[in-house]
Structure 1
Amino acid sequence: MAIKKTKKLSAQTATTTVATGEKFAKVDANGKVTLIDLASLKTALLGGIDTRAILDNVFIMYHRKRDNYPVLSAPNAWKALQDAGEVADGVAVMDGGHLLVVAPTCSPGTLPWSSANIIGGGFSSTDRIGVISDFNGQNNTSSIISKSTSSAVTNTTAYAPGFCNAYSRVNANGEGLTAGKWWMPSVGEMLLIFANLRKINYCLSLISGAVLIADLWHWTSSEYNSSNGWYVTIGEGVISTNQKSALGKVRPVSAFTR
């Protein structure tokens, strides 16, 4: 009786990526081995699920260059628009009755809230639960900027409120969400970003020159008292306070506006 020999495979290197042209082996009910490429395998595994539905509440906003009209683009349609010369204002998120536009880029480094103790005059609370209800980042930032003095500076780009207030995104004609239309997000607005982080970062990955939102703590415009402000740690959803002189990341936000 013939003895069937088996071939022992050599040790294989594990990989987490698929290179162009590589295929996967599949075996049918009769034991026949055939190959399938990555795109076809994805289609088969998803079984007709419309993956666009996962991104139903996020859009890429831009001011159309021909008439400066604000428009929301579905993520899958953005490449063609960008290739045609449109410039993204940012990622628009609709959630819980709020519509927030998240800037494509953030502060180049970390920034303090202010140069010294100051009451900004916006939303202030020592209650962690209460501060979650603050969605007034625009009013907060406007008030904080107006309170800036030579001894307690907030209104220059070296400080979080001033950086957000001076932020600008323009289209090919120099129009769009220009300086003065952006603000430092409140705690509630930062939590909206946290709740949609993966989807926002996916949209940011489609925008030329955009920077993904890092899993770090970010300043908000919500105040605790004269010496401390609230921050949100994006990676974990931690809501806490720090001295206004502390250095944190800053991501401007805006609204769907002309």
Structure 2
Amino acid sequence: MAIKTRKISDWLSANGQAITNASKATMEDAIRADIGQLYDGVFIMFHRKIDNFPLAVRVNSWASYQNSGEVAEGVLLVEGGRHLVVAPTEGTDKKWSSKPVSSSDTSGSVQISGVTTTGDRMTALNDFAGRANTTAIINGSTSSNVTNTEAYAAGFCNKYARVNANGNGLTAGKWWLPSLAELVMIWANFDKINYALSKISGATQLQQNWYWSSTQISATTAWNLYLNDGNVSSSYKFRQGRVRPVSAFLY
């Protein structure tokens, strides 16, 4: 007896269904909609333009807000009793400070007081004082040891701003250079954050590269973190690296 075969498309058509083409992005969104719990703890933050009230919505809800003219200030990460807003864009080629100028010329280098300072890796990995660190780094800037302009990591973050149509939001002075522990939070949620960033108009993705932290080691060096493999490293402050400002769920 012969086996009868039938095209899947014909069978679907006969049953009132159809095969449709779908883009990779559409398929990813459909899958994520069914496994949304994997993205719990990650939101998109903005100040609502009608009353400048701070809100944070689930990533898959953001499109309608953005289409109505709302401006995303960042990706809100809530984890382990802490929260952190990750900026939609970042700085590149930023030095930590203007001194030292090289490994062979460390004259004029300054160990800035008020900044978490340690050569112990585990102590550094427990530093969540990014905001206080950044304030101290900015206040410690001098004409001979500059840290407070946009050319430098802390200065870039301090001057960063994201505002709505009314000019309200996370304005300059409300952002800081993340501490090493805060950078670890970003690394641990790298894919979640990048997915959220992909939904924000004009945002740039986190890179699998190294980023400056505000955690200091000495007069000449500070800690950084590689977001590809979690490598925690000591770097001279004259090195040029990436900087991703962070903030909080603030008015």
TM-score when normalising by structure 2: 0.86
Equivalent position amino acid for 2:231 in 1: V
Equivalent position amino acid for 1:33 in 2: K
Deviations 1:38-58 (A, max 9, x none): 66xx69x96x98321111110
CA 1:203–1:112 in 2, change beyond 3 Å: closer, same or farther? Answer: same
CA distance in 1, matches of 2:157, 2:33: 39
CA 1:138–1:32 in 2, change beyond 3 Å: closer, same or farther? Answer: same
Equivalent residues in 2 for 1:157-196, closer than 5 Å: 157-196=150-189
Larger Rg: 1
CA distance in 1, matches of 2:147, 2:33: 48
CA 1:131–1:37 in 2, change beyond 3 Å: closer, same or farther? Answer: same
Which has the larger helix fraction? 2
Equivalent position amino acid for 2:151 in 1: A
Deviations 1:201-232 (A, max 9, x none): 00000000000011110000001111000000
Residue in 2 that maps onto 1:113? 96
CA drift at 1:31: 5.0
Higher relative contact order (CA 8 A, sep 6+): 2
Equivalent residues in 2 for 1:235-250, closer than 5 Å: 235-250=228-243
Q: Does 1:80 align with 2:64?
A: yes
3-state SS of paired residue (1:88): coil
CA distance in 2, matches of 1:96, 1:144: 27
Residue in 1 that maps onto 2:121? 128
Residue in 1 that maps onto 2:14? none
CA distance in 2, matches of 1:33, 1:137: 61
Equivalent residues in 2 for 1:214-225, closer than 5 Å: 214-225=207-218
3-state SS of paired residue (2:242): coil
The question of whether the paired residues in 2 share the 8 Å contact of 1:120 and 1:140 is answered with: no
Identity %: 46
Q: Paired residues, what number?
A: 227
CA distance in 2, matches of 1:245, 1:219: 11
Residue in 2 that maps onto 1:94? 78
TM-score when normalising by structure 1: 0.83
Deviations 1:71-94 (A, max 9, x none): 001111100000000000100001
Residue in 2 that maps onto 1:144? 137
Equivalent position amino acid for 2:112 in 1: G
CA distance in 2, matches of 1:230, 1:30: 68
Equivalent position amino acid for 2:210 in 1: W
After superposition, the CA RMSD in angstroms is 2.2
Unmatched tracts of structure 1, length 5 or more: 1-28
Residue in 2 that maps onto 1:33? 7
CA distance in 2, matches of 1:93, 1:187: 16
CA distance in 2, matches of 1:239, 1:30: 63
